[in-house]
Amino acid sequence: MTHNTDRNLSLFERARAVIPGGVNSPVRAFKAVGGTPRFIERAQGAYMWDANGQRYIDYIGSWGPMILGHGHPAVLEAVQKAAVDGLSFGAPTEREVELAEAILELVPSMDMVRLVSSGTEAGMSAIRLARGATGRSKILKFEGCYHGHADALLVKAGSGLATFGNATSAGVPPEVVQHTLVLEYNNVVQLEEAFALHGKDIACLMMEPIAGNMNFVRASVEFTRRCRELCTQYGALLVYDEVMTGFRVALGGAQSLYAAQIPGFAPDITVMGKVIGGGMPLAAFGGRRDIMEQLAPMGAVYQAGTLSGNPVATACGLATLREIRRPGFYEALGSRTRSLASGLQAAAAEASVPLCADSEGGMFGFFLLPELPQNYAEVMRTDGQRFNRLFHGLLDRGVYIAPALYEAGFVSAAHQSEDIAATLAAAREVFQSL
């Protein structure tokens, strides 16, 4: 593509002059994989078209929200109608009540819910609420899990258990992360030791139930059970970050899958986002009534937002939830996603490329590794250069997967079996060249 016809390149150059890195969120810059980001002009169903008019089968789905595919008619109609009635009021609306009721019906561990505008805002607020509700300062998270970019959560593992985390970002003072303890995901021994050492000072343990920010790593049932038991034993709150897994892996989120294996399992607070807004800025956090009632204006924990519960975003979210509740939605979506995951594994095996894949509902991941990793360190054994060649090989063939080896992938209800077949045909070609 010569320079003057590659609109992605000219747009990227223009963008970098006025927006840091040319993007409004880092992962979009293709920094990990190299090359020129595709500037998307429009999307429909399972497809996106870039500024050169090139079509891609979309496995990003806006990083999770677009579970129905792009441009679902019922969603567009709801959004257009809501927009005509008013873009934002800064006052309560019936639709916020409707959406809250729908969420509580689908996530029985929640007695009450507060709507906000992003997963980061929801996670940050959940931390403040846990600290306010327990009167404790320390929080516990796991390496490889991402919960948004609130200061206290931008932390990597400290050296050893006793020491607390070190900030992963400039601009985060040590005082802010001194209360954040970072452990290895799926490591029950470390978990037990950390609670033995610090349990009475821990306000909450925050975890991704299936770590989509390590591509796709499931919390083991034993690890999940111990997280729940230790939080209960020491009076800490279990905060389940379902921003990515909520309504994505199952109608009841990942917690419904673990509750089926651990009798009585339920988090104390759940953070949600992405699918809940259907592509519009909307996220939420909710949980036990006795905890949620400590939020302003009822309680002493302050939290607020100009566009929280925005009337157009709630219309989009409600229309999306209506569609995913239809009988058979997750069975069909899960089957389609499994066929992609198993197809990738088979295609790689034919080319003697080590690859293992996993999926749940409309979320999948794969690793250029001989077996599924259980934690961040194992994920990062992947040969990054080989992944980058795979990424660009697929992109050049019109298949758009996540531009980073630690990101999950998403299949929508709009992806047909022909799209999966076309994706696997492209993958077979690329695996041969890896």
Q: Which residues bind ligand KE4 (CB under 6 A)?
A: 25, 27, 63, 118-120, 123, 146-148, 208, 212-213, 241, 243-244, 273, 283, 407
Rank residues 239 and 426 by Cβ distance to ligand KE4 and give the closer one.
239
Rank residues 62 and 423 by Cβ distance to ligand KE4 and give the closer one.
62
Dihedral sign for Cα atoms in the order 277, 104, 144, 424: negative
CB of 326 to ligand KE4, least distance (A): 25
Rank residues 273 and 343 by Cβ distance to ligand KE4 and give the closer one.
273
281: tokens are 């800025």
CB of 241 to ligand KE4, least distance (A): 5
- Check: CB of residue 257 under 8 Å from CB of residue 250: yes
CB of 414 to ligand KE4, least distance (A): 20
Active site residues: 146, 241, 274
Q: Find the residue with minimal CB distance to ligand KE4.
A: 119
**Contacts of 364-368 spanning 24+ positions with Cβ under 8 A:** 364/216, 364/337, 364/340, 364/408, 364/409, 364/410, 364/411, 365/212, 365/215, 365/216, 365/217, 365/408, 365/409, 366/215, 366/216, 366/341, 366/409, 367/215, 367/405, 368/405
Q: Nearest 5°: phi and psi at 41?
A: -95, -40
Rank residues 10 and 36 by Cβ distance to ligand KE4 and give the closer one.
36
Rank residues 58 and 241 by Cβ distance to ligand KE4 and give the closer one.
241
Tokens 């403040």 sit at which residue? 128
CB of 3 to ligand KE4, least distance (A): 28
Rank residues 334 and 403 by Cβ distance to ligand KE4 and give the closer one.
403
CB of 146 to ligand KE4, least distance (A): 5
CB of 160 to ligand KE4, least distance (A): 26
> Which of 303, 276, 306 has the alpha carbon at shortest distance from 91?
306
CB of 274 to ligand KE4, least distance (A): 7
Rank residues 244 and 394 by Cβ distance to ligand KE4 and give the closer one.
244
**CA contacts within 13 A on the Cβ side of 113:** 28
Rank residues 8 and 120 by Cβ distance to ligand KE4 and give the closer one.
120
CB of 43 to ligand KE4, least distance (A): 16
CB of 62 to ligand KE4, least distance (A): 8
Rank residues 185 and 431 by Cβ distance to ligand KE4 and give the closer one.
185
